[in-house]
C-alpha cells in the first residue's frame, strides 16, 4: 500500500488523486528470467595446443560493471475531478562493480541502488509504503507499460555509466 499519489501542480490537493497498484504483469516483460536454456548435445572442449592461454602482464586495472532492474508494481493514478488516468511503475535498479588491478585479487568497487516511481504523462509524486520503503518520483511522457519499463532500463544504464566513471577516477 502506498500513501502519496502523483501531482503535477504543488497546489493540487493529493486527495484529488486516487492511486491503484497491481502486480507487474509478466506479459509486459519479466524483470528476470530464471529459465536456463541448455542444449542437451553440449560437448566439452578438448584440450589441445590450439588454445590461447591468458597472461597476467596487463598493466591496467579492469572494472566489471553490471546491473539489474526489477519492475515491482504497476501503478495507475486517477484524478477524481477529470477522470484523467496516469500510468506508472514502481521499480528498482541496482548496479555493482568489481575491479581487478594487475597482480591483485578482485575487489568490490561500489554498489548503487535506485528505487523509483516512474510516472507517465509528466506527473510526479514519491511513494511511501507503510513498511518503510520509498520510491523517488521520476516523470516521463510514457503512456504504455513497455515505455515505463524502458525508462527503468535507462535509469539502470545511467547508474552503470556513473559507477563505471567512478571506477575509472578511482584508478
Q: Decide: helix, strand or coil at residue 143.
A: coil
For residues 94 and 91, give the distance between their C-alpha atoms in angstroms, rounded to a whole number. Answer: 10
Cα dihedral 16/18/19/25 (nearest 10): -130
Of residues 1 and 134, the one with the higher pLDDT is 134
pLDDT score for 41:
73
Phi and psi based region of residue 26 (left: phi greater than 0; alpha: psi -120 to 50; beta: remaining): alpha
| 29 dihedral zone (left: phi>0; alpha: psi -120 to 50; beta) | left
* Tens-digit pLDDT profile for residues 54-72: 555 557 888 999 999 999 8
Beta bridge partners of 114: 93
User: Mean pLDDT, the chain, as a whole number?
Assistant: 79
Amino acid at each position: 500500500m502506498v500513501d502519496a499519489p502523483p501531482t503535477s501542480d504543488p497546489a493540487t490537493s493529493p486527495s484529488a488523486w486516487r492511486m491503484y497498484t497491481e502486480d507487474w504483469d509478466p506479459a509486459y516483460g519479466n524483470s528476470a528470467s530464471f529459465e536456463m536454456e541448455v542444449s542437451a548435445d553440449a560437448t566439452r572442449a578438448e584440450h589441445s595446443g590450439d588454445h590461447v592461454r591468458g597472461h597476467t602482464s596487463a598493466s591496467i586495472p579492469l572494472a566489471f560493471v553490471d546491473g539489474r532492474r526489477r519492475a515491482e508494481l504497476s501503478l495507475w493514478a486517477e484524478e477524481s475531478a477529470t477522470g484523467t488516468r496516469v500510468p506508472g511503475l514502481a521499480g528498482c535498479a541496482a548496479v555493482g562493480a568489481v575491479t581487478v588491478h594487475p597482480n591483485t585479487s578482485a575487489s568490490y568497487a561500489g554498489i548503487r541502488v535506485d528505487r523509483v516511481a516512474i510516472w507517465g504523462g509528466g506527473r510526479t509524486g514519491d511513494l511511501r509504503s507503510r513498511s518503510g520503503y520509498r520510491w523517488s518520483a521520476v516523470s516521463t511522457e510514457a503512456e504504455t507499460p513497455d515505455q515505463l519499463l524502458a525508462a527503468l532500463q535507462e535509469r539502470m544504464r545511467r547508474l552503470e555509466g556513473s559507477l563505471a566513471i567512478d571506477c575509472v577516477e578511482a584508478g
